[in-house]
A = this chain, B = another copy of it.
C-alpha cells in the first residue's frame, strides 16, 4: 500500500477527521517503555499519530490501556489442531495480531503441497500470519515422514507473499560439520531462526557463525544468557507443555529486552481458548516478577524488530493499526482488538477445502506389542513442562509390563506413510492407570504414536486413528473418544469451539485414566529426534545425543 497521499497526510495533520480515534486511554510506547496519554488516531488501517484528533468513530477508553497488537515470534499452528483460519479466529480474540509460523509439521507430512495449503489459508485469516520455511524436513535423516524438502524446493517459495525467511535450523550436527546441503538452505534467506537446545561454548559460536539468529529452546538461565551474549534473539517459550517463562524471565531487563520475545511454539486449542495466547505469556511473566512494560515490549516491538516488520510493533505514525484495549497490567484482559483498524468480532467460521491425505498403515495386531524379554530396559522419561526427555533405565519383567506402580507404559509407533512393522518402547511419566491414547501427530514425521495400559486398547486407539485417516483418540473401557484430524492428520477443519469441546472431552477422559495434564502433547514429542535425550520413532528407540538407534534392552 502506498501511504504517501495528501488525503492521509491531511488526516495525520488533523485537517480532516480520522477514521477512528481512541480517547482518554493510556497508550503504551515500546520505544521508550513508557505510557502516554492522548488521542490515538487511525485511518485506512494505519496509525496517524497521538495528539488531539477527531474521528468519524470515537471510542472512550477511559480507565483502559492501549497496547500494540501482540506478536508470537515462533509457533507451529498445526499444534493447535486448528487450521490457520480457525487458529486466527481464536487467537485474535486474545489480542494476537501477528504470528511468525513455521509450517514444518505439515511439510513433514505433505511437503510443498502442505505449505501451499498453509499459504492459501493465510489469506482466509483475520490476523497476519507470516511463515518461515521449514529448514529440516525431515528433522533428521532418522525420521521417515511423508516428504523431504531440499534447498531448491524451498527456494521456489522464498519470494511468496507471507514468506519471511528460513525456519528453525534443527540440524545442529549438519551445521557444525559444514554439510553443504545445510549451507544451501541457509543461503536462501537472510532471516534464519535457530533451534539449538543445550548448545554452548565454541560449538554455539560456530552455529551462530553459520547464520542462526534466534533460539527458543533454552531451559536454563545460563544457556539463555550465553545465547543472548552471543547475539541471538531469545524467544522465551510458553507452550502447552514447554513452559520456560518461570525459569528464564528474569533475564529480561531494560538492557536485554530488545532481544527477547515470547513464543508459544506448540499450544493446543483448548489451552489457547481457556488460558490465552501471548496474553497468557504477559500474565505469567508479570506474575513471575517482570515489569509489565518489559513484558509488553517482548510481545510487540521486539519480535517486530527481529523479523524486520517495521510496519508494526508500536503505535506510531504510519504503522499498522493493530492494537488491543486491555483492562490492567496484571490480568491483561483483552477488551477489544483491532487488526489494521478493524475491530475483531466473533464471526462465523468459513469452510475450507481440504485435500485428502494418504494413510498407508495397516492396523497392527495386538501381538505386535508383545514384550517377551526380561532385563534392564531403556525407558523414555517425561520431564514435566518440558519437551526434553530423560534417558532412564529400569529392570523390567515382560509379564509385568505395563507396570502401573512404577508408571512404565508401552509406547508404540506405526509409520503412517508406508505399511511397516510398528516399533515398541517404554515410557515413564504419563501416569495412566487404565486405557490408551493414540494420535497421528508425532513430531516431526507425524507417524502414528500410542501409549497405553493394555495392548488391546492401544490397538483399538491406533485402529481408530487409521480409520479416520488422522485423529486423536482416547480409549477407555474399550470405548474410543476422538477428535478427527481431517486436515493432513494434523489439524481439524471443525470450527474452533467444536475442537475445543472435543479436546476437553478427550482431556476429561484421560484425566479419568489417571493421566498427567496434556498427555497428547507429551505423546506428540516422544518421537522428536532433535531434542535430547531418548526418543522413539517408527525405526526404534533413538538416542539424540549419540544420534543412534538402540535396542529396548541393554545387553
Contacts and interface: CB of A to CB of B under 8 A. Distances in A.
Interface of A: 2-10, 12-14, 29, 31-34, 36, 46-53, 175-178, 182-183, 186-187, 190, 201-206, 208-211, 213, 225, 228-231, 253-256, 258-259, 305, 308, 310, 314, 316-319
B205 A51 contact: yes
A7 B206 CA distance: 11
Contacts of A52: 202
B36 A209 contact: no
Contacts of A13: 176, 202-203, 205-206
Given A13-B205, A205-B48, A205-B51, A32 B210 contact: no
Given A32-B229, A317-B208, A317-B230, A177 B4 contact: no
A53 B31 CA distance: 38
Q: How many copies does the complex hold?
A: 2
A317 B205 contact: yes
A316 B208 contact: yes
A211 B3 contact: yes
A304 to B, nearest CB: 11
Contacts of A202: 12-14, 49, 51-53
B259 A209 contact: no
B49 A230 contact: yes
Contacts of A34: 229, 255
Nearest to A315: B231
Nearest to A293: B255
A10 B209 CA distance: 11
B31 A209 contact: no
Given A211-B318, A316-B230, A317-B230, A32 B256 contact: yes
A177 B225 CA distance: 49
A256 B31 contact: yes
Contacts of A9: 175-178, 206, 209-210
B209 A12 contact: yes
Nearest to A251: B32
Contacts of A206: 9, 12-13, 49, 317
